[in-house]
Amino acid sequence: MIANSAPAGTTALSDSELVARLTPDTLPRHVAIIMDGNGRWARARGLPRIAGHSEGIKSLQEVIALFLELGIPALTIYAFSQENWNRPATEITALMGLLEHYLSTEQGRLVERGIRLRTIGRVEMLPPGALARLRASEAESRHCDKLVLTVGLSYGGRSEIVDAVRKIAADCKTGRLQADEIDEGLFEQYLSTTGLPDPDLLIRTSGESRISNFLLWQLAYTELYFTPTLWPDFRRREALLALIEFQQRDRRFGRIKPSMTPSPGR
């Protein structure tokens, strides 16, 4: 379902009133975002596509600042999918340059604010400069514990699952693991997101209602929030509205609500 309108009763509220509407105890512990619509945002303004990606970084910064303020401890973003390698070389080069520039200029501030950077995906396929910067940022922020920012780069959910199966098979072959020890908990330890809770909320911008090979295993019980807003326009207020909508959802994880349980004798 696309959230075409703001949650009931929120239109006239200021941003600080929206914050006051949130219940701190039931905020998501992990939010995943598919940041879509940068190209359309740029085209609508007669700008090159990279201008949309560049503006999208400002949205990312606002969302990070909000999550730090609210104490939401994990954010995972889909910055570059495996399929994105099929884009024109000029766009890929510009995107990698943007990533490298962002990390070089922001690294100090990320660490200062307690942001730990992690990556998921086949990052070894990235250009050497971007890869070296990423590895340095991961190492320098290893001790940070306010927010884990996981960046999907050259990421695909199916490949991640296949890679996990390969590692499990290799461990079975060497005798480190027995086949009957494999269960969901063990499988998760072989995924690149190991250690993170599954996302409670997935946000996808720009009106597309698809998962697009993102976190296929991890999204099993995640609440999905699709908004027509293009990513460069998804700022603090939009993020607050998504969180309010999330808190209005009834998460049952396959169970039924106590009020729906038949009363004794019926």
| Binding interface with ligand FPP (CB under 6 A) | 35-40, 53, 56-57, 60, 79, 84, 98-99, 102, 151, 206
Phi-psi region of 207 (alpha: psi -120 to 50; beta: other; left: phi over 0): left
Pick the catalytic residue: 84, 163, 171, 198? 84
Residue 84 a catalytic site member: yes
Shortest distance (Å) from residue 154 CB to ligand FPP? 12
Cα-based distances in Å from 137 to 54, 95, 131 = 20, 17, 10
Known binding positions for substrate: 37-41, 49, 53, 81-83, 85, 87, 204, 210-212
Quote the Cα angle for 47-48-51, to 5°: 80
**Number of helical H runs and strand E runs in the chain:** 8, 6
CA distance 43 to 51: 9
Q: Tell me whether residue 159 or residue 247 sits nearer to ligand FPP (CB atom).
A: 159
Pick the catalytic residue: 4, 36, 198, 213? 36
Q: Tell me whether residue 13 or residue 151 sits nearer to ligand FPP (CB atom).
A: 151
Q: Tell me whether residue 72 or residue 79 sits nearer to ligand FPP (CB atom).
A: 79
Q: Tell me whether residue 102 or residue 246 sits nearer to ligand FPP (CB atom).
A: 102
Amino acid identity for residue 246 in this structure: F
- Please tell me what DSSP assigns to residue 260: G
Known binding positions: 36-41, 49, 53, 81-83, 85, 87, 204, 210-212, 223
As a whole number of angstroms, the longest Cα–Cα distance in the chain is 70
Name the residue whose CB lies closest to ligand FPP: 39
CA 59 to chain centre: 13
Of 128, 30, 48, nearest in space to 88 by CA: 48
Shortest distance (Å) from residue 137 CB to ligand FPP? 10
Of 119, 20, 7, 14, nearest in space to 69 by CA: 20
Known binding positions for Mg(2+): 36, 223
Residue 36 a catalytic site member: yes
Q: Tell me whether residue 206 or residue 222 sits nearer to ligand FPP (CB atom).
A: 206
* Residue 172 burial by Cβ neighbours in a 10 Å radius (0-12, 13-18, 19+): middle
Question: Residues with catalytic annotation?
Answer: 36, 84
